[in-house]
Structures are given as C-alpha cells and as structure tokens.
C-alpha cells in the first residue's frame, strides 16, 4: 500500500454557490427562522478559496431538527433556538470556546428588529468587569508559567522549561486582548485581526512569535518587561505586584518607567545643536515649553524633524544605545527610539514645502504641520526652544476623547494665552482657582 498525504475535500465552486443560495432561500421562506449568521472564512471575509464552504448559524424559534444538515456538505449549519443563541459563547455556556468566532461573522437575516445584530455585537466585546477579570486571571496564569519556566531552566531542566515557556503564550495572548476590552481571536485569525485593529499595549504577534521560536530566559524576560508595562497601563499592577519579591528576578532587573526630565531634554537639544539639526518640540514638553515651566512628569520627548535630517539623528542615537521601541502604530513617519534607562524619543517626520508647512506622512493622508504651527517658541530649563505654537497644540488635542493629561494641558494653554476652550473640554476642565 502506497502512503501519501491524506486526501483533501475539494468541492466544485459552482456546487458550493448553488447550495448556499438554496439554503439561504429556504431559510428566508421559512417563518420559523429568526436569523441567519454567516461564520468562518466566508463570514470573516478572509482566507477564502474557490472550494471554501459556508458555515452558517441558523437561529430558529423552536424546532432545530429540520436544519441539521450533513457535516462536510457545501453548507454546514449549526441550528439553535433563539434562547440558546442569546447565551451562546458567553461565560457559563457549554460552547463558550466559540465566542471568538463572532469577531468575524456576517448577519444575513434578522427578523427580531436588530436583536440578532445586537447579540452578535455583545459577543464580540468584553464587558468592563469581564475584561478586568479575564485580564487579571490570564496575566496571573502567564506569570505563573513564566516563573515555572525560569525556575526549570535555572535547575537545568531544559525540556520542562521550554514547555512552560510555550505554555505561557496562550494566557499572554488572552490577557493582551483583555487589557483592551477585546475577545482574543482564534489563532488562525490573530494576524488578520491585528492588521484590522492593532492592540495599543502589546505587540502580541511579535512576542508570541519570539517565544515560539526562542524559549531562552533572556527572551522570556524581555517579553515580560513589555507585558509588565502593559499590565500597569491596563490597571493590573496589583497582579504583577502579587509576585513580589520575585518580580525583579522575573524581569531580569529593576523596573524602569519611561521618563524624560528637563536635563534629558537639554542633553538632547545639545546633541541636535552639535549635529546642526533643527527640531521642534511637540507633545507634553511643547505644552510646558510654551508655559515656561514643567507642569507634570513626561514619559517621552516628542519632536518634529525634517526627513532630510532623520538618518543623521537616528544614527547618533543608535550610537548612544537607543533602539526601536515596538508599538502597534509605528510608521515610517512616526516611531519611537528608546534606551535601557527609560529615555524615549517620539519622532514626527515632516517634509516642508515652499510655504513652510510640513507634510506629515503620505500626501494622500492629508496630515500636516502648518507653517503657523511650527512658529512657536518656548523655554525648557531656561533655554529657548522652537516648539509647536500654543493655539496649534490646542487644536491637535481635539478630535478624540481627551484624557486627564489632555484636559490639564489644554486648560493651562487656553488660560495662559487667551485661547477659547474647545467644546470637548468645556465640561471637563478644572475650575479656576
């Protein structure tokens, strides 16, 4: 008997299409059908090939028997009553494992005035308390596997240590999505989901790939340092703290919170002066430059820099030990370099035209720093600096939901320079003493 690869099911595309239309028309003609939800690759709109079948949830009022179609058919159905569908995939349901499937579904039929669509939306998103519980539990499970792995590796139990490192990937992925109120996708859809909606706290595709390829202690500790920062940002610092006194051992050194002081800014400005490079201060330090005093702690230094100076500055910082800081929104015209001491520089790269305005990113995006925005002057540590002008700092803070730092920055600028307070800040600004 000749051995070879197992045969794959190949369905004729025309047969598949005809079967799908037949099932859909039958459902639409059946008054007992309350909803149809297309799942799988067809519902997600990805990884579709000519012989992809159709996976369909058929939601009925009562009897599911007529809609139990043969497994392996061109159209596979999963019939359930509306009562079963309401709880399907949610905590406590026997099919809780299927919740990630709803990240990529298409509602084809909804005879309940939008209820099917609302139920699907609820399954796609974690409620705040649910996200907090899942985030804490998964973070704890990740740290537990990390701890076991490092102890095993220290004791010379290489296989056991590598297995524990691999086991840490699953809760790490779950926690990373829960930190941002999101359901973790099935592994098949991880990169697809992140491409559509990147995570802000952890570059999970990168760290999962790193851990899957290298279970060494240095790699694991490097990943943990990123996760620890994300955990604090998501409000789960207590979970990390519960592992004291071993947290410093887990991370391989003391916890460094990114911070850029007045002296750090002056040192950077000295470097730029020595290189003959002109930059503009942006972000929180630009606010304080305009105000002439430091009003709060700053995690980084935002700068605007012209493209023709970029390579010179990047090379100089690299020589000083700076490296790429992973972020999900990294782009060629907006990225961060940082060092091991917690200093970070956030680059905003522009190309200026004959009017003095600076295009920020590809022309088709349409983002720019107008010449007036680049005309600001301020003071940091008693040193005059070019910075974004106050009125433009205020404008750049609109268009999104402001946080506490945004409110404080904008309110201070408006009061100092007589700028009208934007409406979005009118109900959140602190009362004037």
What is the crossing angle of helices 158-167 and 204-213, to 10°?
160
Q: Are 90 and 99 in contact (CB under 8 A)?
A: yes
CA distance 317 to 271: 9
pLDDT number for residue 230: 78
The whole-number average pLDDT for the span 170-191 is 95
pLDDT number for residue 412: 94
What are the tens digits of pLDDT across the range 50-66? 888 899 999 999 888 88
pLDDT number for residue 200: 66
pLDDT number for residue 374: 97
Statement: the pTM of the whole predicted model exceeds 0.85: no
pLDDT number for residue 6: 41
| DSSP H or E segment with residue 110 | strand 106-110
pLDDT number for residue 255: 64
Quick one: pLDDT band at residue 323, thresholds 50, 70, 90? confident
Tell me the pLDDT of the chain averaged across its residues.
Answer: 90
Q: In Å, what is the CA distance from 209 to each residue of 46, 123, 204?
A: 21, 27, 8
What are the tens digits of pLDDT across the range 120-167? 999 999 999 999 999 999 999 999 999 999 999 999 999 999 999 999
pLDDT number for residue 2: 44
Quick one: pLDDT band at residue 9, thresholds 50, 70, 90? low
φ, ψ at 42 (rounded to 5°): -65, -40
Quick one: pLDDT band at residue 318, thresholds 50, 70, 90? confident
Question: Which range is least confidently modeled, 100-109, 195-204, 279-288, 385-394?
Answer: 195-204
CA distance 423 to 410: 12
46: left (phi over 0), alpha (psi -120 to 50) or beta: beta
The whole-number average pLDDT for the span 296-317 is 92
pLDDT number for residue 162: 97
* 50 or 4, higher pLDDT: 50
The whole-number average pLDDT for the span 223-231 is 83
């Amino acid at each position: 008997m000749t051995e070879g690869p197992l045969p794959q099911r190949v369905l004729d595309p025309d047969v598949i299409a005809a079967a799908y239309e037949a099932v859909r028309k039958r459902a639409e003609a059946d008054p007992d059908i309350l909803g149809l939800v297309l799942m799988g690759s067809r519902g997600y709109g990805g990884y579709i090939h000519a012989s992809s079948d159709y996976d369909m949830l058929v939601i009925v009022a009562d009897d599911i028997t007529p809609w139990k179609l043969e497994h392996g058919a061109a159209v596979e159905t999963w019939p359930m009553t509306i009562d079963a569908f309401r709880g399907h995939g949610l905590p406590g349901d026997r099919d809780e494992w299927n919740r990630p499937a709803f990240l990529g579904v298409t509602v084809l039929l909804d005879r309940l005035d939008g209820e099917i669509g609302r139920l699907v939306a609820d399954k796609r998103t974690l409620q705040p308390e649910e996200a907090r519980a899942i985030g804490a539990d998964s973070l704890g499970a990740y740290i537990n596997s990390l701890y076991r792995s490092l102890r095993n590796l220290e004791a010379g139990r290489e296989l056991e240590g590598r297995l524990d490192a691999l086991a840490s990937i699953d809760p790490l992925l779950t926690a990373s999505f829960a930190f941002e109120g999101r359901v973790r996708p099935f592994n098949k859809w991880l990169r697809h989901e992140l491409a559509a909606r990147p995570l802000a706290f952890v570059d999970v595709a990168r760290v999962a790939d790193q851990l899957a390829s290298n279970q060494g202690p240095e790699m694991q500790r490097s990943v943990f340092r990123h996760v620890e920062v994300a955990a604090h940002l998501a409000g789960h610092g207590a979970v990390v703290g519960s592992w004291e006194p071993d947290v410093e051992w887990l991370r391989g050194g003391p916890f460094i919170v990114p911070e850029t002081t007045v002296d750090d800014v002056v040192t950077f400005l000295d470097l730029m002066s020595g290189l003959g490079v002109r930059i503009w201060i942006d972000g929180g330090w630009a606010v304080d430059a305009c105000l002439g005093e430091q009003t709060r702690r700053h995690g980084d230094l935002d700068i605007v820099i012209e493209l023709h100076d970029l390579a010179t500055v990047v090379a100089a910082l690299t020589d000083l030990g700076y490296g790429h800081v992973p972020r999900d929104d990294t782009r060629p015209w907006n990225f961060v370099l940082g060092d091991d001491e917690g200093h970070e520089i956030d680059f905003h790269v522009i190309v200026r035209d004959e009017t003095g305005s600076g295009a920020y990113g590809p022309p088709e995006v349409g983002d720019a720093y107008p010449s007036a925005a680049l005309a600001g002057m301020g003071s940091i540590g008693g040193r005059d600096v070019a910075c974004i002008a106050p009125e433009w700092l205020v404008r750049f803070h609109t268009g999104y939901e402001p946080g506490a730092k945004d409110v404080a920055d904008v309110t201070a600028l408006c009061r100092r320079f007589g700028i009208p307070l934007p409406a979005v800040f009118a109900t959140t600004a602190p009362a004037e003493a």
